[in-house]
Homo-oligomer: A and B are copies of this chain.
Amino acid sequence: MELKNKKWSEERFLEERKKVLGQWKTGEDVNLEDAVEYLKSLPEHKNFAKRLIDAKRNNKTLLQPRAGVALLEEHIELLKYLQDEGGADLLPSTIDSYTRQNRYEEGEKGIEESKKAGRSMLNGFPAVNHGVSGCRQVLESVHIPLQARHGTPDARLLSEIIHASGWTSNEGGGISYNIPYAKSVTLEQTLLDWQYCDRLAGYYQERGIDINREPFGPLTGTLVPPSISNTIAIIEGLLAAEQGVKHITLGYGQCGNLTQDVAAIKALEEQANEYFKEYGYDVELTTVLHQWMGGFPEDESKAFAVISWGAATAALAGATKVIVKTPHEAIGIPTKEANAQGMKATKQMLSLLREQNMENSKGVADEIQLIKKEVKCLIDNVLKVGEGDLAVGTVRAFKNGMLDIPFAPSIHNAGKILPARDVNGAVRYLSYGNLPISDELKEINNKLLDIRAKNENREVSFQMVVDDIFAVSAGKLVGNSN
């Protein structure tokens, strides 16, 4: 099938759909008419898109944890705990690694073994295995909206099952769930597969059902320059909008420098809206900030500080939603109690800072301009190499390193760019690889890193990158010797 950034006809979608539903036995329980009816029967307060819009109107930042276990009952118990005790505004179901690789047979085994072991042997909830009936049971056990969060290159069947179960939001995208999550799946393939997921959301939207879609903002989660993640987010937002998605949440992973982080969220919102408008898409845009995605301190008190800093950043940036870390982050999958602790700290910070923002900061204003200009260079070029087609352009741009995500595992990513922190801890470009960023902008970047080099009395070098990556486990943002 040829990749084009063009809305799939309903015929093409329904044709493709037959194959998708055959991927695993639970596919046959997905009935679109029944699903439409079910979704329409749900109360407004279980609709993800509506909850987000409401928060945006009221200038509130919503709280969402990450969580998922193998067995239905345990998963429900976990989500209810996070809802009641943790005070979640929105619930996730984090999907296990087998499902992410479409290895449903192994998911089945994981469920069996978990039953035997009396604890989850999977690192998430195998939604496809549990099927529509299981997933509906989850939704009906809680009283707030549900979203699938995963990292699945081919999430077509998963998307069918969760939406038919009343889960009104789906995380992911053809770039953001490929380049950071896969080794050799082609971009053509994942872009097509995510067009399918978006078209499915569009199908429901056409029938008056608001479905929220959320490209995965943080990408590799490590020193990703904001203009890279904003570019990918905006491209995925535009691709989704083309397929008829009207409720989009664009995300960003906290880098640690307050000025840059607030600017990145603001720039993302402004610029995405500009592009949506330019292309005539009528989209309700909201934003999400992911608390620090890098290494966490093992000590729980220190972890609380890192979590709190992410919460403060989300509040001051005015993000619509914040994805919460836990004090167990450094040691693996958290207990439900630790999960709730991270949420309580976050909620406390959000309420404390409810009335504050960074609107009077010249630093933020300057940074917004810088990010937007860099993003414009990158997106303009994608459209150029795609001869006007955003999807085609994306594939070609990645092929020749004109889009490039630092430290990504995919062989379809050039991996030529290198980021490093400047003297204030903001993430800058140390090496541009083949990114078509203008000389003017490069000069700004270079100067900022030169100041750091001078400060630290050394050359701008790869060692800075290494030092920055190791800095946070030592509790610092910038890998200097101070």
**CB proximity of A286 to chain B, nearest CB, Å:** 19
**CB proximity of A342 to chain B, nearest CB, Å:** 7
Taken together as a complex, chains A and B put the C-alpha atoms of A308 and B291 apart, in Å, by: 15
* Chain A interface main SS type: helix
Asked if A355 is at the interface (CB within 8 A of a chain B CB), the reply is yes
- Whether A344 contacts B302 by the Cβ 8 Å rule is yes
Residues of B within 8 A of A364 (CB): 360
Contact A476-B304, Cβ < 8 Å, known A360-B363, A361-B361, A362-B360 = no
Asked if A351 is at the interface (CB within 8 A of a chain B CB), the reply is yes
**CB proximity of A373 to chain B, nearest CB, Å:** 18
- Whether A351 contacts B475 by the Cβ 8 Å rule is yes
- Whether A305 contacts B311 by the Cβ 8 Å rule is yes
CB contacts under 8 Å to B, within A273-316, are 297, 299-302, 304-306, 308-309, 311-312, 316
Q: Which listed residue (B309, B361, B476, B478) contacts A308, Cβ 8 A?
A: B309
Q: Which listed residue (B259, B301, B361) contacts A342, Cβ 8 A?
A: B301
Asked if A354 is at the interface (CB within 8 A of a chain B CB), the reply is yes
- Whether B305 contacts A475 by the Cβ 8 Å rule is no
Contact A306-B348, Cβ < 8 Å, known A312-B312, A356-B257, A362-B360 = yes
- Whether A302 contacts B362 by the Cβ 8 Å rule is no
Asked if A32 is at the interface (CB within 8 A of a chain B CB), the reply is no
Taken together as a complex, chains A and B put the C-alpha atoms of A263 and B208 apart, in Å, by: 50
- Whether A352 contacts B258 by the Cβ 8 Å rule is no
Asked if A477 is at the interface (CB within 8 A of a chain B CB), the reply is yes
- Whether B301 contacts A477 by the Cβ 8 Å rule is no
Residues of B within 8 A of A308 (CB): 304-305, 308-309, 312, 345, 349
CB contacts under 8 Å to B, within A220-263, are 256-259
Binding site for B on A (CB under 8 A): 58, 256-259, 297, 299-302, 304-306, 308-309, 311-312, 316, 327, 340-349, 351-364, 366, 423-425, 474-478, 482
